[in-house]
Amino acid sequence: MLPQLASGFGGGVGHKGSLCGALTGAVMAVGMKMGRTDPKDRGTLQKVYDKCQLIWDQFEREFGNVNCFNIIGAHLDNEEERQKWLAAGGREKCADLVEKTAHMLCGSLEI
């Protein structure tokens, strides 16, 4: 179910260069792990916000930005730019970014 749910995150949401899909996925994981079940539970919500801010800040320090285009320097919805990105090892670089983000997430959730 999760791979299906996150399928559109790649390339900054549908290859549009916006918020990095790895960071978006980390935010989803925080919600799954520690999110509120009662909409009125403001205390739990604040803990989730705090954790998401921590991960955001760590991500931004590590990669210099939170937006896909600013990190990879290519518009993946442009086929010519996408092909250049692929030829330069872009997929492998993003896989490395996803792995590092997962480690950040696990470290922040202590799992």
Residue with tokens 């092909």: 83
Predicted confidence at residue 2, as pLDDT, reads 66
Predicted confidence at residue 8, as pLDDT, reads 92
Predicted confidence at residue 1, as pLDDT, reads 67
* Residues 33 and 51: beta-carbon distance below 8 Å: no
Find the mean pLDDT for residues 87-110: 96
Parent domain of 25: 2-109
Angle at 9 between CA 20 and CA 81, to 5 degrees: 70
Structural domains in the chain (count): 1
Find the mean pLDDT for residues 14-29: 95
Q: Which of 5-14, 22-31, 46-55, 70-79 has the lowest mean pLDDT?
A: 5-14
Is residue 3's pLDDT more than 80? no
Fill in the amino acid letter for 1: M
Q: Which residue has the higher pLDDT, 66 or 110?
A: 66
